[in-house]
Amino acid sequence: MVKKFKVVVNADLEELMPDLLKEVKDALINMNGDLGNSDFENLTRLGHGFKGASATYGLADLSEIFRKIEKSSKIADKEAIRNALAEVADYIANVEIEYAP
């Protein structure tokens, strides 16, 4: 069974949300490449940035996953990073967003 992620966010973000989700999807490609190249510095930077952006957009679960990426990258834990990147991909593929005033 596929897990759906349901979130309710501010309606003011409705026009911006698709751009954030696309940016995250695109970044996943680069982050998987960074993992393959052991570029933990860039993974830490991207994890930190997307952690904040996700939180700002009201996507607390996604922010938490990026927090794990940031933390795991600081200690070069490839397995934890790999798992978290898979979690991000799963989240993006299965998030259902409702916009509320």
Class of 5-100 per CATH? mainly alpha
Which residue from 44, 30, 53 is spatially nearest to 80, judged by alpha carbons? 44
DSSP class of 3: P
Length of the chain: 101
Phi, psi angle pair for 2, to nearest 5°: -85, 130
Task: Say what angle helices 17-36 and 78-94 make with each other, to 10 degrees.
Answer: 150
What pLDDT, on the 0 to 100 scale, is given for residue 3? 74
Which is more confident, 1 or 7?
A: 7
- What are the domain boundaries of the chain? 5-100
**Which string of DSSP letters, residue by residue, matches 28-95?**
HHHHHHHHHTT-HHHHHHHHHHHHHHHHHTT-HHHHHHHHHHHHHHHTT-HHHHHHHHHHHHHHHHHE
Please check the confidence at residue 5 and state whether its pLDDT lies above 90: no
What pLDDT, on the 0 to 100 scale, is given for residue 4? 84
What pLDDT, on the 0 to 100 scale, is given for residue 84? 98
pLDDT tens-digit readout, 40-87: 999 999 999 999 999 999 999 999 999 999 999 999 999 999 999 999
